[in-house]
Structures are given as structure tokens and as C-alpha cells.
Chains A and B, each alone.
Chain A
Amino acid sequence: MSQDSSERLTAAVRDAVADGRRLTVAGAGSKRNILPGTSGDMLTTMEHAGIVSYDPAELVITARAGTPIKALQAELALHNQRLACDPPQFLGQGTVGGMVAAGLSGPGRPWTGAVRDAVLGVVMVNGLGEQLTFGGQVMKNVAGYDVSRLMAGSFGALGVLLEVSLRVAPVWEDDVTIAFDLSAAKALDRCAAWRQHYLPLQGSWWHGGRFHVRLGGSAASVAAAMHQLGGERVDFPWDHVRDHALDFFKPLSASGDHGDKTLWRLVVPPAAPMVEAYDDMAVMWAGGLRWWWHDDEEAIQTHVKAMGGWAWAMERAPRLPAAERALMRRIKASFDPAGLFGSALPIEVDHAD
């Protein structure tokens, strides 16, 4: 499946400019259920797919936006490589363009980095219908502002991604999960202590008194870490954590009835104090990301503010400080002066704070 639709997509943007129509850019729509709604005609990049270039020894792959992440991974796996980030793929549906536009991170974030860390270059169409190239296919590049990384997490507000170059990494020789029976607070204590040791940590997940830790790297370093950390070796579906497919993420499941509660995503300093919320709470990123089923938005906002973090509920927009929001709006206008692109970027909503 490989097709170059860059001219068609660019023309579609130019037509919309001419007709004064709004557009919403989408990949496979795999994140539709977790993002706020947007307005405008749907412009999908799905058929603009295929790997443009890949030389494993360069550690860089360039792919069209509509390429399924699954296809990209399959190609990388043939050469014993993987993405140098851990984005949700929503069980294989997500596209490379959507992955960059959403900039979401799975359980490996603190160790493998975020999508923006792996982005090296983009080809995009801005709101003037201009095809622009920023960054490149090389690791180090400080020519001009880093627009390619700005595209990561921009939710389609700045333009249509046509092509993305990503840094890739070698696969781990060994990939092992160890588990511990621990309270969340005790699990976080261990994470804080481990931060001072050279360990092949690649993921963490705490829920319901069970703490899972992923170790990945050379066989020698994984074996040494298993010896050092102890715990019980288990199988664990990290892709289900990554893709929000575990029962915990479902409002009603065998693991509990969350009733009318909303699932909040709290980003906090990893060592911030832990509240004991038992079945309603799950913790990732060695403490830096906490999922909490809760029915009181103000309580969540107060709590997260006190810890120096921020919160985001599924299908809602996170709050932004006024000066940042204003700057983001000006940046959006610099790419899209006519406000052509509707998006889930949380810059339109005014909050009282």
C-alpha cells in the first residue's frame, strides 16, 4: 500500500482556502473517542501512505502521513529496529500522521522519549496552501526554528502533515516484565530510588496493589536488573496499557464499576505524593502519569495544581494559562491566518484561570 497523494491533499487545502470552507485533518480517526469534537469538512490523509526512505544504518525512516503505524513497525522489525518512542496505536489502526499530530505517549515515555523527541523533519501544507519542508533526515539540525517538533501534539491546527521523518532505535535483545505486590506509595518510593541507578527500565504500570515494571535492553543488562530488583517474572500486555485497552480504561468492567465518573489523566512530577484511590487509580511513567476515575472536576483541578501538574479528561480540553493560550493562538494564526483548520488543540476555550 503506497500512494503519493501530496498534490491532491495540497489542492484540497487550496480549494478550501478559495471557498472559505473549514477543514479538519484526520488520519484513521483512531483517537476520535478520546478527543474533543472539531468542526469542518474531514480531510483524511489515509490514502497518502507508504515508506519514502529507510536506511537502517542511518537510524531514520521517512513515511507518508497515512502510513499505518503497524506497517511502519513491521518494516522496522525486519531490520531489528523499532520506533524511538512509544505512542498509542489503538490496536493497529493509528497512522503515522495521527501519531505525530496527537503526540501522545504510552508507558515508555520517561525512558524512550515522546513522539516529539523522535521527530526529525516534516513536509506539511500550511493554512495558505503552501507545501513546506522543515527539519530533515539527519539527527542534528538547528537551521531555522524547530517547526517539525512543534507539529508533534499540534492536533492538526497548524496544517496537514504529508511526510514525517522519525528517528528509530535498535530493538531490545530481551524484553521482560517483573511484578511486585505494593501500595502505590511504596511503588513510587522504589521508582524514586531507581532513578539514581543505571537500569534498563522501559515501562511501569501500577493498579490495584500490583506494580508491573518492564525491562528492555541487552540480555546482560536485563539479567543484571532482574537480579538487582527482584520481583516475580510475569507476562504483561504492555500494548494494552499503551492503547487504553485494559479493563481499567473501560467505565464498566470486571475490574470495577466507575459509574458516572470521568477518566482523568493527571501529569504530575513523578515523585509527587500519592493519594490512595485504590481501584479508581492507575499510575504510569514511574509516577509521572496518573489515571483517576473521578466525578468532581474542581477537586481534580485543585489537586493537580497543588502538585504542580495538569489534568486532562477524555473528550475534554485541558486548561491553559492565559498568556500561553494567547501565544499558542498567535502561533496557530501564523500558520493558518484564516483559521482554516479545526482541531482538538485546546486554545479556543477560555477558562477563568
Chain B
Amino acid sequence: MRALKKALPASCLITDGPGLRPYECDGLTAIREAPWLVALPETEAQVAAVLAVCREHGVSVVPRGAGTGLSGGARPHADGVVLGLSRMNRILEIDPANGIARVEPGVRNLAISEAAAEFGLYYAPDPSSQIACSIGGNVAENSGGVHCLKYGLTVHNVLGARVMLMNGEVLELGGPLYDTPGLDLLAVLCGSEGMLGLVLEVTVALLPKPPEVAVLLAAFADVGAAGQAVADIIGAGIIPAGMEMMDRLAVQAAEAFAKAGYPEDAAAILLIELDGSETELARQGAVVERLLSEGGAYQIDVARDADAQARLWKGRKSAFPAVGRIAPDYYCMDGTIPRHRLAEVLTEIDSLSEEYGLQVANVFHAGDGNLHPLILFDANKPGELERTEEMGGRILELCVAVGGTVTGEHGVGVEKLNQMCVQFNGAELSQFFRLKSAWDPDELLNPGKGIPTLTRCGELGGMHVRHGELPFPDLERF
């Protein structure tokens, strides 16, 4: 601590007291731990100084952006340093001729689009936390958003990054460039959950704003029909800017909260956003409306002006807090499934819901197959959190079984370590660890996150025995 106090001004260190409280957890508030101390460097030299001290004393470092992550990726260690990058928050450059912005990691996602607006440009990935979340955290989590079916994830919209390794070396990856020599280090850095390197600067691509936008709401009496309508639209060669589905419970909660005008009797609703030129939009809108009504939609509303569109989106965007109002607690899952398995997965979730006696509201990025089942529970009832977590685990195993993944956009963090054992075998996990060692051989950067140890998976084995088969016959058991 003496070494850190020498390296950083007092205003950049929080060493005790209530100041540490906000850093005990990120957006996953169920898992808390007070860090040993928090460093909030304002310059690259200060980041380097913190890493040097931690290296010398073998202290672990947990990088943190805005702390909005949902999987506990920024959960601190009691004997480690939290390295918050929120004070490095300057927009260094908006360069419309090259179509890029160069920003520090603490810049908020939405602030980039706001700064680019005067040139008619914006930054496409828009996670629902975009008012608060920072671009450094977006890179660490490879964040998505409602528009990523058409415009891609963070990895598709980041062209460059200045990165500091745990050993203090600084790498300049990519830039305003469409190609880089050698291995694509930037691709593997995106979504690495702060375990490979610290992002000091990001170069993002800016896109021209589409001239016209339309939002459609379609109500269905059957969830399967809504899923089929999504497949029909994509099958017709139309890639909507956004395509969201909500089931009955989610619709009712959102309507009670946001008064968006959703039909509460629907088994499922679809929200579809189309963008493009005026003529393009008119033609696409007609095709989509026809497919929806042929596909069994009993109500279709089209919002053309910005206010009506904002109202329709408000219901979807407030779905999580809305569900939070109808139950004392909720637990948010983040699986991705091949879209054509949707009806089957929702039926199975229904029966799990009955088995565990816990209600589930489903919010679904229908375009890209990313499913957010929200399990409603009451943490004050003894054992209910544990039952919820177990049921959540089974939903994620279900996602893997139908060919999907345990996390589409929230990350593994500490939350989904066990489910990683279902998705990856021992050889694959070992490869992840070797890859990590190539970047951070002393394992000081965000240890214990993202990838479960073989021992952990081996010990879990007993919980996951199904149909008499051991899930990891090739693993040593202790």
C-alpha cells in the first residue's frame, strides 16, 4: 500500500471505509466482496505504476469499467486491487473522414454517439446499459445490444485498441485500419473479460445514421407462431435492425410498468425495427406486415414517428426493471439458442418452471437467438435463491444441449463458471488456460473469472450426472 500511495495521488486511491462499498460488486449484486483497495488512475503512466507495484508484490488486479456488467466479471478479491478506468474518460478524436472515434476506456457508450451526431454518425452497438456502461467494459465483454443482428457486436465495430499487458508492455492493435498483420489479437481481446490485458484506448467505427426508421409491433396467440414469423422474415431476405420477442408474463410486467400499449392478452409479441431510405422502408415494411399477418399475428401496429417508436421500445427496454416490480427478486439468464429450437426450449422452460415452482418471464433477442429468461423468486424465503440458481443452471444446460451457448452477451464472470463445464471439455478448458498464460503468465489479471478450473468441473461432475453418463469421462476426479 505504501508503494501504491507513492505511485498515485491520494485522490486516486480508496483504501478503506464506505468509499469501498460501491466496488463490492458489479451489476450482479448477489455476489459481493470488499476489495483490499481501489485504484482510479487518470493517466496511462498511473495505470503502469499500479501494475508495476502489483507485479512486484504478486497482488491480483481486477479491471473495472462502469460496473454495469451482469456476470460478476468485476467482482473484487479481498486481497486484490480493483483498477477502475472510469476516470480515463476523454474522447480523443472524432474523425469523420476516416469514419472513426478514438476514445479512452472510461468513455460511456452513448457519449460516443452523442459526440459523433454532429457529423450524422453514430456508434452502432447499443447495450441496454448504454447510458452508463463504458467502452472499455464493452470491449472486455464484447457487448451486444438490440441492433446487433444487422450491425454486429463490439468485436465488429472496434477497429483498434491500445492495450497494456500485465507485464507493463503496451501494444497498439489495429487502428483506423481494415486489416492487421499477424494473429488477430484484437478479436481475442474482445470478450476476454479483463483477463488478458487492460484497454487504454479504443478506436471504434462510426456509421452513418439511417435516414428513416419504422417500428412494428405484432401480437401472437402462440409463441411458436411468433418464432416462425421471425424465421419467415429472415428467410425473405430482410435483416431488420432489431427484432425482439417477449412472452406473456414479460409483456404484462412491461405494460404495467411502462404503459407502452402492448396487448396484454398476447402469448407473445414481436417488436421489429426496420431502417433505411424511405422507399426501401416502404417496401420492406409491406413485406414484413404481410409475413406477420400470414404468420398468425392478430394485431399489427406500425409506429412511424419518433415518439410512437420510443413508446414501443420503452416497454422492451424497461422489461428487466418491470419484472423486478412483480417479484421481490429476479435472476437473469443469458443463453443463446439456434432460433428454430425456440418453441421447444420455451416448452421445456415451462416445465422446469412447474418443477421448481418458480415463474419465468422470457425476453428474447429473436433475431440472433439470445434468450433472457428471468426467473422470479424471493431471496428472503430460505432456499429459494439456491433453487433459482439450480434451475438457472438447468436452463443454460438446455441451451447447450440444443446447440447453443451458456452466455450470449453478459459474459461468464463468476456467475456461469459451472455452466462452462457443460459447454467445454477438459482439453478445451486447458487450451483456454494456456492462451491466458500467453498474455498473463503469472495469472494476476482478473484471476478466478471466465474459465473454470478442471478441478472445479471435476467436483461438479456429481451434480450433473444424467442418464447414468458422466459428462467428463476424460477428466481426473479427486
Chain B residues with CB under 8 A of A327 = 165, 169, 171, 185, 438-439
A334 interface hit (Cβ, 8 Å): yes
Interface residues of A in 288-333 (CB under 8 A from B): 288-289, 308-310, 312, 318-321, 323-325, 327-328, 330-333
Chain B residues with CB under 8 A of A269 = 98, 175-177
B244 interface hit (Cβ, 8 Å): no
B237 interface hit (Cβ, 8 Å): yes
Q: Which of A81, A137, A146, A267 contacts B188 (CB 8 A)?
A: A146
Q: Which of A105, A117, A142, A192 contacts B408 (CB 8 A)?
A: A142
A8 interface hit (Cβ, 8 Å): no
Minimum distance in angstroms from A193 CB to a CB of chain B: 8
B478 interface hit (Cβ, 8 Å): no
Q: Are B188 and A152 in contact (CB under 8 A)?
A: no
B321 interface hit (Cβ, 8 Å): no
Q: Are B171 and A130 in contact (CB under 8 A)?
A: no
A-B contact number at CB 8 A:
270
Q: Are A132 and B235 in contact (CB under 8 A)?
A: no
Chain A residues with CB under 8 A of B181 = 310, 312, 318-320, 346
Among A22-30, A52-60, A208-216, A237-245, the stretch in contact with B: A52-60
Q: Are B431 and A130 in contact (CB under 8 A)?
A: yes
A266 and B209 alpha carbons, distance in the complex (Å)? 30
Tell me whether A196 and B237 are in contact in the complex, defined as CB-CB below 8 angstroms, given that A143-B405, A224-B277, A269-B175 are known contacts: no
Minimum distance in angstroms from A12 CB to a CB of chain B: 18
Minimum distance in angstroms from B188 CB to a CB of chain A: 5
B327 interface hit (Cβ, 8 Å): no
Tell me whether A218 and B431 are in contact in the complex, defined as CB-CB below 8 angstroms, given that A137-B338, A142-B141, A149-B155 are known contacts: no
Tell me whether A198 and B187 are in contact in the complex, defined as CB-CB below 8 angstroms, given that A105-B178, A138-B368, A140-B336 are known contacts: no
Q: Are B156 and A58 in contact (CB under 8 A)?
A: no
A141 interface hit (Cβ, 8 Å): yes
Minimum distance in angstroms from B83 CB to a CB of chain A: 20
Q: Which residue on A lies nearest to B233, using beta carbons?
A: A57
A173 and B148 alpha carbons, distance in the complex (Å)? 22
Q: Are B96 and A196 in contact (CB under 8 A)?
A: yes
Q: Which of A57, A146, A198, A309 contacts B276 (CB 8 A)?
A: A198
Minimum distance in angstroms from A334 CB to a CB of chain B: 4
A56 and B435 alpha carbons, distance in the complex (Å)? 34
A288 and B141 alpha carbons, distance in the complex (Å)? 28
Q: Which residue on A lies nearest to B235, using beta carbons?
A: A57
A271 and B178 alpha carbons, distance in the complex (Å)? 12
A286 and B184 alpha carbons, distance in the complex (Å)? 22
Chain B residues with CB under 8 A of A142 = 141-142, 191, 405, 407-412
Q: Are A198 and B208 in contact (CB under 8 A)?
A: yes
Chain A residues with CB under 8 A of B96 = 192, 195-196
A337 and B180 alpha carbons, distance in the complex (Å)? 24
Most buried by A among B339, B370, B405, B408: B405
Q: Are B427 and A130 in contact (CB under 8 A)?
A: yes
Chain B residues with CB under 8 A of A138 = 336-338, 368-370, 403-405, 408
A169 and B340 alpha carbons, distance in the complex (Å)? 17
B352 interface hit (Cβ, 8 Å): no
12 A–B contacts from the bound complex (CB under 8 Å): A126-B431, A140-B408, A141-B336, A142-B409, A153-B184, A195-B97, A198-B208, A218-B283, A269-B175, A323-B171, A324-B182, A334-B434
